[in-house]
Amino acid sequence: MFEVTTESSFSAAHHLKNYGVPCENTHGHNWLVKATVKCEKLNEIGIGIDFRKLRSSLQAITEELDHTDLNDIFDRLDLNPSSENIARYIFKKLSAALGDSEEKVARIDVMESPGSSAAYYE
């Protein structure tokens, strides 16, 4: 089994419901996202998934989130925009973007600040 990882980032605001101050107040983060894809085999030139394909797919998702109020997106899903829920959201979107290919999303790590991260995997 092989794993291929790339990163993308976005800046966005959010506020956590039922958390208490200060995080219930609207505030922002510069989010860093790491996406890891697993590949069972390599293609004829020794690549599991092209970094450009993975990076482009991830960036399309983070661009949708960039400079938004994440609550506008997550309220429609009836979810708090926590790092954990953001990681799951990106996992699902990236899995859908890759479709039925042999490459499968293994894990999404979301860092809202240096030293603080949450991950989602299935």
DSSP per residue, 7-57:
EEEEEEEE--TTS-TTTTS-EEEEEEEEEEEEESS--TTS-SS-HHHHHHH
37 pLDDT band, cuts 50/70/90, is very high
Instruction: Calculate mean pLDDT across residues 39-62.
Output: 96
Q: Are 62 and 121 in contact (CB under 8 A)?
A: no
Instruction: Calculate mean pLDDT across residues 81-109.
Output: 96
Instruction: Calculate mean pLDDT across residues 85-114.
Output: 95
* Displacement of CA 42 from its chain's centroid (Å): 24
Tell me which residue range forms the domain holding 15: 2-120
Instruction: Calculate mean pLDDT across residues 102-116.
Output: 95
Total number of domains constituting the chain: 1
Q: Please check the confidence at residue 80 and state whether its pLDDT lies above 90.
A: yes
20 pLDDT band, cuts 50/70/90, is confident
Q: What is the pTM of this model?
A: 0.95
Q: Are 49 and 103 in contact (CB under 8 A)?
A: yes
Instruction: Calculate mean pLDDT across residues 10-18.
Output: 96
Residue 106 belongs to domain with CATH number: 3.30.479.10
Q: Tell me the C-alpha distance between 5 and 105, whole Å.
A: 10
